[in-house]
Amino acid sequence: MRIAVRVAGMDWVEAEKFRKRVTTFEDEREIRDWHRTFIEGAMKTSGCSAEESQAIFDMMAAFRGYGFAESHAWAFALHAYTSAWLRHHYPAEFLASLMTEHPGMWSHNTLRQEAKRYGIPFGRLDINRSGMSYLVEKEGDHKRLRPPLTAVKGVGEEAAREILFGRLAKGPYRGVRDVYERVRVRPEALEELARAGAFGRLQDRRDALFQARALHNLQPSGEKTLFKTVPESPPFEALAFADEALWDYATKGFSEVGVHIVDLIRQRLRGLGAAPLAACRNGWVRTAGLIIAKQKPSTAKGFAFYMLEDGPVRMQVVISPQLWERELLTLRDAEVLVVEGWYERTYQARTLRAERLFGLDAPTAS
């Protein structure tokens, strides 16, 4: 705007209109009048030659879609530097705050995989240790993250706070029944906490879930009773490791132990000849991953860009307009994508130009 005013002699209202048009045009015919106005104004106001005026105009037009105000760029740069410094020197604290506030597009599972990549372990969700936000716990020189009660789907801040207040007032909980009798909490929320493993240090998950459902049918929460007793739990089989992970994903969207959805179907993918993302090398590959992001920008000439994840490794898949039309239903409905195409890795960027693909459903909890 300052260039338009001082070089081309526009007033500030005209300069604002000029800025909007020149930084957003799609076809040069749209700015023909502004082009002529600027060239004539620069020659008249500043004594520039036609070539100099054209050169200045071309530099401004080249900023289309990429120009930042200086104050905006400064704020972004400061934020980026501060974030990078914190991530490098205090990765556990950085990830704890990131997972608590959860800005941006990445899921908690993707952020959990980032923690795995940094070598930061997770403690289990715990009815007697978890709080309202992701916590950093220290053991000697080592740190780990503890997920909050609110990480469980269906457990809001109000329910989590009541549980926390009850714990602070009368000490640690002894099990599902103790929570149910001491705190007014929705039965559905207590069941989800049981499925998510919040009572893992006190009771088996299936036993905790059984008791949560039984209590719901016997008495209101937040009340003790002298005569009604919870039926004794039947002898449940121990929950298999894969089932625990699936219960984690169903209730929290991630597993504290770092197991990824793709890990649970690794044998099936191996049978299909799909290599892990980490094993891909430049050239023709067949690989697979969980779809974590989809983009099809209007400016990409029909191309779509999917982000696949396999544990802590992510890869961008470039899908041509022809493949998009041919596999539209698969690309719409699939959760896990098996892709063949040309793979290229440049530093940390992994890109696969898809030639063929098909979809799989992610495993679900029983």
If you ran DSSP here, which 8-state letter would residue 135 be given? E
pTM reported for the whole predicted model: 0.79
Please tell me the class of the 264-360 domain. mainly beta
Of 344, 342, 337, 340, the C-alpha closest to 356 is 340
> CA 328 → CA 21, 135, 316, distances in Å?
35, 42, 18
Angle at 231 between CA 229 and CA 233, to 5 degrees: 140
- What is the bridge-based pairing of β-strands 313-319 and 135-139? unpaired
- Is 74 buried (19+), middle (13-18) or exposed (0-12) by CB count in 10 A? exposed
Of 342, 343, 319, the C-alpha closest to 332 is 319
Residues in Cβ contact with 290 at an 8 Å cutoff, skipping those fewer than 6 apart: 260, 261, 262, 308, 309, 310, 335, 336, 362
The span from the CA of 191 to the CA of 176, in Å, is: 9
Using only C-alpha atoms, the chain has a radius of gyration, in whole angstroms, of 28
Where do the structural domains in the chain lie, given as residue ranges? 2-61, 69-259, 264-360
Per-residue pLDDT of the chain (366 residues; tens, 9 = 90+): 999 999 999 999 999 999 888 887 777 788 889 999 999 999 999 999 999 999 999 988 887 766 677 888 899 999 999 999 999 999 999 999 999 999 888 999 999 999 999 999 999 999 999 999 999 999 888 999 999 999 999 999 999 999 999 999 999 999 999 999 899 989 899 999 999 999 999 999 999 999 998 888 777 777 776 556 667 888 888 889 999 999 999 999 999 998 999 999 999 999 999 999 999 999 999 999 999 999 999 889 999 999 999 999 999 999 999 999 999 999 999 999 999 999 999 888 899 999 999 999 999 887
How many CA atoms are closer than 13 Å to the CA of 146, on its beta-carbon side?
A: 18
The span from the CA of 327 to the CA of 308, in Å, is: 17
Classify residue 171 as left (phi > 0), alpha (psi -120 to 50) or beta.
left
